[in-house]
Amino acid sequence: MQISSKLKSIIEKYTGEGIQYFRNTVLHNGQEYTDYWLLHPYQFDHEYIDFQNSMIKYKKKADDYETSRKTSMVLLSLNTLQEFEEYKEKARKKLETITIEKLFLKENVIKKDFFALRYVFGGMFYVSEKLKKEIENQGCTGLEFQPSYLSYYEWRTEREKVYGKI
């Protein structure tokens, strides 16, 4: 994710390890801007996911995939991070995909204001309400905060209402 130095300094106050920043130059209308960074997470906090209530989809290849190229979508009923990790590994080995379509978090155990998640369709970063308020109060723009309780498709519908497209 590309961010400004201003946003980087805010996020750094709320994170410890697990995030790398790489200076990034932006060219716009012939002007060079060096005040930007690529934010790269290398640690993911899947222990905060409530797997029992989240909707997880597994795109599975048909037995005759090599000739038919057919796949099917399977809804998984998982209870633990360990089960999710097992399916992740299975998907990796078979070149299949697993996605969390609708995310539920264990709100009562979250200790961080900013963290990254993988395999979540339409999103990657969790931002606490406290951090969100600081970002907004500091005047950072170009960001949208999708509520974690909405799926990507639900969020798209809601944001289209906000922007007057529906």
Query: Over the stretch 19-72, which tens digit does the pLDDT of each residue have?
Result: 999 999 999 999 999 999 999 999 999 999 999 999 999 999 999 999 999 999
Q: What burial letters (b/e) apply to 119-128, b meaning 16+ CB within 10 Å?
A: bbebbebbbe
Q: Which run of H or of E encompasses 83?
A: helix 81-94
For 101, residues 6+ apart whose C-beta sits below 8 A from its C-beta are 55, 56, 57, 121, 151, 152
Render pLDDT for 109-143 as a digit per residue (tens, 0 to 9). 999 999 999 999 988 899 999 999 999 999 999 88
- What's the pLDDT at 151? 84
Render pLDDT for 93-106 as a digit per residue (tens, 0 to 9). 999 999 999 999 99
- From CA 13, how far away is CA 8, in angstroms rounded? 9
Instruction: Determine the residue type at 41.
Output: P
Please determine, for residue 160, whether its predicted confidence score (pLDDT) is greater than 70. yes
- What's the pLDDT at 45? 95
Better pLDDT: 150 or 81: 81
- From CA 110, how far away is CA 125, in angstroms rounded? 13
